[in-house]
Amino acid sequence: MKLKTYLLALAALLINLSCEKDDVCVENDSVYVNLVFYSAEDGSTAKSVSGFSLIDLNGDIIQNYDNSTVAAIALVLPTSETSYDLILQKRTEVNGITINTNDTLTFGYTPKATYVSRACGYIRSYIDLSTSSTNNWISEVIVNNPEINSNNDEHVAILH
């Protein structure tokens, strides 16, 4: 009887040791490009934007910030492309007339996919980030770090 108990305990121990740890992905580590708005007069002073929309080149609104003030935007760049164009439209009221002022912001980058695990799959990041823009209401666009691998950084400063 004792032999059966020992064999059963040994079998249970071997089965338990052969199990793999659960492969659970707790968080999504893919990064976004953080755009932060600053004053053109003093490039270190934050300056929010109101009456603002992000529009694709087809004229479709991606995000509308009509009734809010925006200090920063987290932007996902397509990983199937190496460049991305975006229209930043600012609306102002002059004598009861709404005036739309558009600037086209172009991102150049190399997407990078890093395998994490079976549960998490791949995470995206970007390297070699560069930007250019028209200068209607945006004075300057500065890339703070061309390697985008963290969501905690300010990647692009937009002076207006």
Predicted pLDDT of residue 6: 54
Predicted pLDDT of residue 68: 87
- Give me the sign of the Cα torsion angle 50, 56, 57, 59: negative
Q: What is the pLDDT of residues 18-73, one digit of tens each?
A: 555 556 676 667 899 999 999 999 888 999 998 999 999 999 999 999 888 999 99
- Exposure string of 56-93, with b = 16+ CB inside 10 Å and e = fewer, is eeeeeeeeebeeeebeebebebeeeeeebebbbbbeee
Higher pLDDT, 6 or 108: 108
What's the CA gap between 52 and 67, in Å, rounded? Answer: 9
| Position 132, amino acid | S
Q: What is the pLDDT of residues 122-146, one digit of tens each?
A: 888 999 999 999 999 999 999 999 9
Report how far Cα 93 is from the mean position of its chain's Cα atoms.
Answer: 31
